[in-house]
Amino acid sequence: MNTGNTKVMNRFDITSRLIAKLQHEEAVIGGIGNTNFDLWAAGHRPQNFYMLGSMGLAFPIALGVALAQPDRRVFALEGDGSLLMQLGALSTIAALKPKNLIMIVMDNGIYQITGAQPTPAAGVADIVAIATGSGLANSAWAADEEDFERLVEEAMSASEPSLIAVRIDDKPGVGTTRRDPVQIRERFMHGLGVREPL
Partner 1 sequence: MAIAEQQAQGTSDRSWHGIVLQTLKRNEISLIPYVPDRVLTPLIKNLHANPFFTTFATAREEEAVGIVSGAWMGGRRGAVLMQTSGFATLANVLASLAVPYQIPLIMFVSERGTLGEFNYGQSLVCRTMRPVLDSLALEHHTITRLDELEFIADRSIKQAVTTQAPVALILNPLLTGGKVFDQ
Residues in touch with partner 1 (CB under 8 A): 27, 29, 49, 51-57, 59-69, 72, 86-89, 91-92, 95-96, 181-182, 184-185, 188-189, 192-194
Tell me whether residue 27 or residue 151 sits nearer to partner 1 (CB atom): 27
Of the pair 63, 168, the CB lying nearest partner 1 is at: 63
Least CB distance to partner 1 at residue 163 (A): 16
At CA 116, angle to CA 167 and CA 75, rounded to 5? 40
- Least distance to partner 1, CB of residue 68, Å: 3
Min CB(100)–partner 1 separation in Å: 11
Question: What's the CA dihedral at 60, 65, 68, 70 to 10 degrees?
Answer: -100
* Residues 175 and 40: beta-carbon distance below 8 Å: yes
Strand pairing of 117-118 and 110-111? antiparallel
Query: Could you tell me which residues come within 8 angstroms of residue 151 by beta carbon, excluding any fewer than 6 positions away?
Result: 140, 142, 162, 164
Q: Least distance from C-beta 123 to partner 1, angstroms?
A: 25
SS3 143: coil
- Our CB check for partner 1 shows the closer of 119 and 134 to be 134
